[in-house]
Structure 1
Amino acid sequence: MSSHWYEDNLAPKLYFDTTFNIDAARILPGGYYATPGHMMLVTTLGSCVAACIRDPINGIGGINHFMLPENVQEQGGWGSSSARYGSYAMEMLINQLLKMGARRQNLEAKLFGGGAVIKHMKTINIGARNATFALDYLKTEGIPVVSTDLLDIYPRKICYFPQSGKVLVKKLYSLHNNEVLNREQNYLMLLKKSKVEGDVELFT
């Protein structure tokens, strides 16, 4: 498997959350995290989508945080470079879950994000495209989607508890700074400059 920028991005931030009294990991754009332990996985989404995928029988779960690159010349489809970025993000998480002992036939997913928050994008709605990709991908892979909170115009903070499958969603109706938007803008610029190299071997 080739080296890829998804593996070189800023690592998840591990910390102890005093509000929930639990070990936690904060996932940044382009990242993913999987665990067999009792943890809380946290991310904040604007146009990006997070897939929370778990094996409820074995108590192994994880989350990713991704965006398809902006390319108005492409109409989408599984052969497009945009789709390959999304496929890579999903496959990296699923692969990690399976390596930790999850069974593919047990996997279920919840999807969040895809808000129309990047206002200068007039040619395409990146959030909607991310959401559609995630739904289509999971349907194709035969992984049931048991819950969604997608689209709208607001960023969201997600707190995911993989062992139980519980997700807390907080809509960020008013932001006092542009941290979420700036982070996703920087991520989008990185996507434009990056290439997907090689394929990911997906465990079965």
Structure 2
Amino acid sequence: MNYDNNAHLAPTTYYDRHFDRQAVKILPGEYFVTNGDKMIVTVLGSCIAVCLRDKAIGIGGMNHFLLPNDGNNETGLLTESARYGVYAMELLINHLLKMGASRTRLEAKVFGGGNVLRGLKLNNVGQRNAAFVLEYLHNENIPVIAKDLLDEFPRKVYFFPDTGNVLVKKIKTLHNTTIMDRESEYRMRVKFTPKSGDVELFD
């Protein structure tokens, strides 16, 4: 079976002329895994994207998620809202393992968590997301070999799973509110979504 065609939760594909390769764009709540030479692209505000890769065989994937606001300032993996982040991470890891990646060879690059949403800076949305993902990866013994977190600017992230390279572009001038609108809509969606069940992880 060719797993490269399983654009699970990430249906937007296009040809990127600048990088001369097929690309997959992931939106909030989506992820994509590939064992080919597709580039994975996303734009982040307060959300987090984790690029995970098996460094030995070049299988990699990226997710894009945000912790729903649980109404308090708790941090850690045991909070109600963090369960959504755990689920998003387990989906990505599980998919990589099904495609032949080894858990012991996974390495991570982590991006996002900017305080870019109006009215949400007091809630430290970006900081909560950044703190969660770093704690999660530490607890799972997955090394973080690169990160670009926090700040106040949105980011566009280009991930090349076949090589492991990541390019990050800070977006310092916004021409519209698409990024904030998309993340605000996503926050409302996950806030009222029932918590997902556990994901069985492959060894």
Fold match by TM threshold 0.5? yes
The answer on whether the counterparts of 1:72 and 1:123 sit within 8 Å (CA) in structure 2 is: no
| Equivalent-residue separation in structure 1 for 2:38 and 2:174 (angstroms) | 27
Mark the CA change 1:178 to 1:200 in structure 2 (over 3 Å): closer, same or farther: same
| Equivalent-residue separation in structure 1 for 2:10 and 2:64 (angstroms) | 12
**1:12 and 2:4 correspond:** no
| Equivalent-residue separation in structure 2 for 1:10 and 1:161 (angstroms) | 19
Matched residue, 2:193: 194
**1:24 and 2:35 correspond:** no
Q: Secondary structure at the match of 1:198?
A: coil
The answer on whether the counterparts of 1:76 and 1:82 sit within 8 Å (CA) in structure 2 is: no
Q: Deviations over 1:39-71 (max 9, x none)?
A: 100000000000000001011000000000012
Matched residue, 1:56: 55
Question: Which amino acid counterpart does residue 44 of structure 1 have in structure 2?
Answer: V
Q: Secondary structure at the match of 1:102?
A: coil
CA deviation after TM superposition for structure 1 residue 118, in Å? 1.0
CA deviation after TM superposition for structure 1 residue 121, in Å? 1.5
Q: Which moved more, 1:30-39 or 1:77-86?
A: 77-86
Q: Output the aligned Cα RMSD.
A: 1.3
Structure 1: 5+ residue stretches without partners: 1-8
The answer on whether the counterparts of 1:57 and 1:106 sit within 8 Å (CA) in structure 2 is: yes
- Aligned positions of 1:45-124 closer than 5 A: 45-73=44-72, 75-124=74-123
Question: Which amino acid counterpart does residue 192 of structure 1 have in structure 2?
Answer: K
Percent identity, aligned pairs only, is 54
- The TM-score, its normalising length taken from structure 2, stands at 0.93
Report how many residues are paired.
196
Q: Deviations over 1:113-169 (max 9, x none)?
A: 000001202541111110000000000000000000000000000000011111111
| Equivalent-residue separation in structure 1 for 2:196 and 2:67 (angstroms) | 15
| Equivalent-residue separation in structure 1 for 2:71 and 2:142 (angstroms) | 29
The answer on whether the counterparts of 1:12 and 1:31 sit within 8 Å (CA) in structure 2 is: no
Q: Deviations over 1:86-126 (max 9, x none)?
A: 00000000000010111111000000000000120254111
| Equivalent-residue separation in structure 1 for 2:192 and 2:57 (angstroms) | 39
Matched residue, 1:6: none
Mark the CA change 1:107 to 1:122 in structure 2 (over 3 Å): closer, same or farther: closer
Question: Which amino acid counterpart does residue 56 of structure 2 have in structure 1?
Answer: I
The answer on whether the counterparts of 1:12 and 1:28 sit within 8 Å (CA) in structure 2 is: no
Matched residue, 2:162: 163
The answer on whether the counterparts of 2:24 and 2:41 sit within 8 Å (CA) in structure 1 is: yes
- Aligned positions of 1:145-156 closer than 5 A: 145-156=144-155
The answer on whether the counterparts of 2:84 and 2:196 sit within 8 Å (CA) in structure 1 is: no
The answer on whether the counterparts of 1:12 and 1:33 sit within 8 Å (CA) in structure 2 is: no
CA deviation after TM superposition for structure 1 residue 74, in Å? 5.7
